[in-house]
Every structure is written in C-alpha cells, then in structure tokens.
Amino acid sequence: MKKNIKNICCIGAGYVGGPTMAVIAKKCPHIQINVVDINKKRIEDWNSEDLASLPIFEPGLGDIIKSCRNKNLHFSTDIKKQIANADMIFISVNTPTKTKGIGAGKASDLKWVESSAREISKYAVGSTIIVEKSTLPVKTALTIKRILESQNNKLNTKSVSQSFAVLSNPEFMSEGSAIKDLENPDRVLIGGEDQEAIKELINIYLNWVDFEKILTTDLWSSELSKLIANAFLAQRISSINSMTALCEKTGADIKNVSLAIGSDKRIGQYFLDSGPGFGGSCFKKDILNLVYICNHYGLDEVSSYWQKVVDINIWQQKRISHIVVDKLFRTVSGKKIAIFGFAFKSNTNDTRESPAISICNDLIEEGSNIYIYDPKVRELQIEKDLGVETNKKYSRNNDDGYWHYSKSIDETIKEADAIIILTGWSEFKKLNYENIFKLMRSPSWIFDARGILDPNHIQSIGFRFWRIGLGNQNVSQYFDMQF
C-alpha cells in the first residue's frame, strides 16, 4: 500500500488520542490531524478557548494545543467526514473490562473498537492504513480486518474502491508525563504484515524519533507485548507493595530496601516506589485481560500467577484503610479526615481506579467525615466516583460518613484528626506542617501512603506519623508504640 500521508484521523479524543495526536501535530506540521469523538462535551472542551477547561490535564499539553489547534490539529464530532478524508486512521477508543456477559470482570469490552471498525468500513475512501492505538487483546487485528473486509466485499459489488492495511502500534506513555514520553519514547512498536504501510507509519515517527528506537514485529507479538509490558510494570508495584507490610512488621524501611535492590542493574531503580496500590485505567484491566486470555488457552497456572498481582493491589488498598481506623483508636466514626490527593497519581486529573476511591469509600463506610483536596480533580468527578448521596456538609457529630470537596488545604485540615496522603503531588511536600499542626485536633495524625514526607521533621512538630513501609525501628521517640 503506497501512500503519502497528508491526513490523519484519530477516533477517540481521550487520554491517549488527545496527547498522542497533539504531539504528532507538533512534530509533523505538514500533516493535517483530525481527532474525532462521539462525546460532544469532550470535543467542546478540547476546543475551549480557556486552556484550563481542556478535558485532560497533562504538563505541556496546553502549550501544544495553543500552537497547533485549528492549524493542523482539529477536534470534531464529524466522524464520517474525517474518516473519508483520512489516509491513516488511529483507533484510540476505550477498551474497558466487560461488566456483563461472557468474560465479565476480566475480558476487554471491544464494542467501541468494533463500532470504530464499522464506521471506518462504511466511510473510508481509497486505500487507508488503520492503526490500533488502543490496548487490545491479542488477535484483535483479525477482528478488525474481518469487519473491514466484509463491508469491502459489499462495496466492491457497487464498484466503490476501498483497501485497508491494519497495523498494531500500542502506546506506552504514562499519564502525568505523557508529552515527555511521547516526545522521547523508549521505543515505538509497530506490528503488521503490509511492509509499505509499516514504512508509512515509521516515516511519521522519524520526524522526531530515532530509527533505532522503532521496533517492527508481527501483529500478534505487538498486540501481546503491550499487555505484557503493563503486567510486568504492575507486577513490580505489587512486589514492592507486598514488602511494605513486611518492613512495617520487622522494623525495616521500604525506601532503603528499594534503593538497595534497585541498585542492582538487573533489577533497576524504576517502578519500586511503594504506595497505596496502583491505580489508573489500564494496569488492572490489562492484567485481567491477560488472565482471561491465559484461561482461554488453558494456561491456568499462568493466569493464577498474574491474578495475584491484582489481588495484592486490592489487599494493599484495604490494608491502608484498616491501618487508619486502627491507629485512630479503632474508630473513625464522626472524625474528620483530610484526604490529600484523589487522582491515581500526581500530574494528572484522572481518577480511574484511583486507590483513593476504595480507601475513601472504606472510611465513609466506617462513619468518618472526609474532606478531599486535590489540585486538579474536579468535584463532579469525585461525585461520580464516590456517589452524590455521601457529599454533605461537615458536622463533627455526624457519624453517617460522608465526603466533602475542599477548595483549599486550610479548609481540609481545620480541626481534622488525621491527614492521609494518597497522591504524591509535589505541593504536599512543600506545605507548612507546623501551621497545619496548630489547626488540627489533637492527637493529630499523618498517614503518608506515598512516602513523600520526612518522618523526623513531621514527628518533631508533634504529629503522630505513619508512613508506608516504615517499621518501628526507624521512627523517633514520638512514634506511638501502643498499637
């Protein structure tokens, strides 16, 4: 398939479609890029004059939108027209875990991928390269090809010319550092059979990525590599998190352990930060999908091995809410708890699968009044995650359990019994904890589930302090030994 790519269409204006296309637009001013979505509000937000209203917060994204939007980067709901115009189409739609039917709770729901393929087959004109950007179960390219071919057969009888090449080009960026990752990827992976189509995609990346970093494989290795990469990353987090509990029991410090083991080149220093469990829209769903695929092929031992990575993650989240209740005299009923951070990690407004959701739900269930502060997450999002019925106004005597959205740190901590740090936003490191201590009720606790504060400093102020993976031996005389 020989082409000269002038027009790209991306189906799906989400956390991947938006930033990925923004970076291609920045690096390839000679290519027109149209990002389309069925979600009208999302498209309106992408087109918003006020950059603070973009649907996604990512460092550096606003600047690119400002310089490329309405020049060679466009956002619209005109799916039909943009598919018809495109030489290359990226499918960047959501692939969440199925909630019902066969494979519910494990398999990926591919209905949005299928509907994209059907739209493409209806509206594409001439030869078009289809690029799977979404994370997909291995062999999905075959499904896409079959849908495209079936429509193609019908159209050919009416002498409308269409031809397709399907490539897999999984995305490895992380939220919070998406622009940096996209501009300087560790590798770009392209799987496919059609060598001309592969060359076209390589040519786009060559505008800013070194040739040596572009790996080409068969389709199935490419699709599967994405799932396996996420499984390996999540496995490291579950491994280190499982050891936080052991450090706490034995008087060791997980930070020292991470440093010691990570200095071994064979282990490596990255992804060894312990925390409240991994969140985000992908790790859990991708491992569950891998578990499902292994089961499907009768590889039960392999599937149970990877299932444990998810199990430990759930256990870690539960462990943190139990510790908080335990330390606060085994009851949080009617107590005010300040939650620092609701996003699943810092530098993003994304809350999908955030550990904060499960931990806050547990504390509300226990009757505590939680005040949530996050620099980027909006109240409406927290309402979607926790439910509107538990969003109430503060009163110390209310032991029904509810949450309240705080616009400022001061409101969050005033008369609070405890602070729980659930997202590692850098602003939480820089706060004046002496002043905060004065405004809280005594005894005042800090639970640092992200390990961002200095225990000696915090305890010297007078706080009771718990930090993930820090055993008794390392804490000063202020540590409360009675529990």
Binding site for ligand UGA (CB under 6 A): 135, 171-175, 230, 233, 237, 271-273, 275, 278-280, 282-283, 344-345
Single out the segment in contact with ligand NAD by CB under 6 A; choices: 15-23, 214-222, 335-343, 434-442: 15-23
Quote the least distance from Cβ 168 to ligand NAD, whole Å: 12
The residue assigned the tokens 């393929």 is 117
Comparing CB distances to ligand UGA, the nearer of 289 and 406 is 289
Quote the least distance from Cβ 269 to ligand NAD, whole Å: 22
CA–CA separation, 467 and 451 (whole Å): 6
The distance in angstroms from the start CA to the end CA of the chain is 69
What is the footprint of ligand NAD within residues 121-140 (CB under 6 A)? Answer: 134-135
The catalytic position among 247, 282, 294, 360 is 282
- The two beta strands, 402-405 and 214-217, are unpaired
Quote the least distance from Cβ 134 to ligand UGA, whole Å: 10
Side-chain half-sphere of 6: how many Cα atoms within 13 Å?
Answer: 4
Active-site residue flag, 9: no
Identity of the residue numbered 57: F
Quote the least distance from Cβ 441 to ligand UGA, whole Å: 29
Determine which residue in the list 32, 34, 72, 92 makes contact with ligand NAD, applying CB under 6 A: 92
Quote the least distance from Cβ 332 to ligand UGA, whole Å: 24
Comparing CB distances to ligand UGA, the nearer of 190 and 436 is 190
Quote the least distance from Cβ 93 to ligand NAD, whole Å: 4
3-state class (DSSP) for residue 156: helix
Determine which residue in the list 8, 17, 22, 64 makes contact with ligand NAD, applying CB under 6 A: 17
The residue assigned the tokens 């005894």 is 443
Comparing CB distances to ligand NAD, the nearer of 78 and 383 is 78
Regarding 16 and contact with ligand NAD (CB under 6 A), the answer is yes
78 contact partners, CB below 8 Å, separation of at least 6: 36
CA–CA separation, 296 and 293 (whole Å): 5
Comparing CB distances to ligand NAD, the nearer of 53 and 156 is 53
**What, of ligand UGA, ligand NAD, none, does residue 106 touch, CB below 5 to 8 Å by kind?**
none
Regarding 39 and contact with ligand NAD (CB under 6 A), the answer is yes
Regarding 173 and contact with ligand NAD (CB under 6 A), the answer is yes
**What, of ligand UGA, ligand NAD, none, does residue 93 touch, CB below 5 to 8 Å by kind?**
ligand NAD
> Which residue, 441, 352, 446, 365, is CA-closest to 403?
365
Regarding 254 and contact with ligand NAD (CB under 6 A), the answer is no
Regarding 182 and contact with ligand NAD (CB under 6 A), the answer is no
Regarding 34 and contact with ligand NAD (CB under 6 A), the answer is no
201 contact partners, CB below 8 Å, separation of at least 6: 88, 129, 131, 167, 169, 190
What is the footprint of ligand NAD within residues 281-300 (CB under 6 A)? Answer: 281-282
Comparing CB distances to ligand NAD, the nearer of 72 and 97 is 97
Quote the least distance from Cβ 337 to ligand NAD, whole Å: 29
> Which residue, 331, 319, 310, 255, is CA-closest to 447?
319
User: Across the beta sheet with 464-467, what order do the strands follow?
Assistant: 402-405, 369-373, 336-340, 418-421, 445-448, 464-467
Can you list the alpha helix ranges (DSSP code H) found in 369-408? 379-386
**What, of ligand NAD, ligand UGA, none, does residue 147 touch, CB below 5 to 8 Å by kind?**
none
Comparing CB distances to ligand UGA, the nearer of 145 and 352 is 352
3-state class (DSSP) for residue 212: helix
Strand partners for 420: 339, 447
> Which residue, 133, 197, 221, 204, is CA-closest to 169?
133
Comparing CB distances to ligand NAD, the nearer of 306 and 403 is 306
Determine which residue in the list 48, 115, 217, 221 makes contact with ligand NAD, applying CB under 6 A: 115
The residue assigned the tokens 């004059």 is 49
CA–CA separation, 244 and 295 (whole Å): 30
Comparing CB distances to ligand UGA, the nearer of 233 and 243 is 233
Single out the segment in contact with ligand NAD by CB under 6 A; choices: 38-46, 189-197, 329-337, 360-368: 38-46
Residue least distant from ligand NAD (Cβ): 14
Q: Distances from the Cα of 67 to the Cαs of 29, 41, 210, 242, in angstroms? A: 11, 22, 24, 45
79 contact partners, CB below 8 Å, separation of at least 6: 11, 36, 38, 119, 123
Quote the least distance from Cβ 253 to ligand UGA, whole Å: 16
CA–CA separation, 361 and 366 (whole Å): 9
Q: Which active-site residues does the annotation give?
A: 282
Which chain residues interact with ligand NAD by CB under 6 A?
11-17, 36-39, 42, 79, 92-95, 112, 115-116, 134-135, 171, 173, 175, 281-282
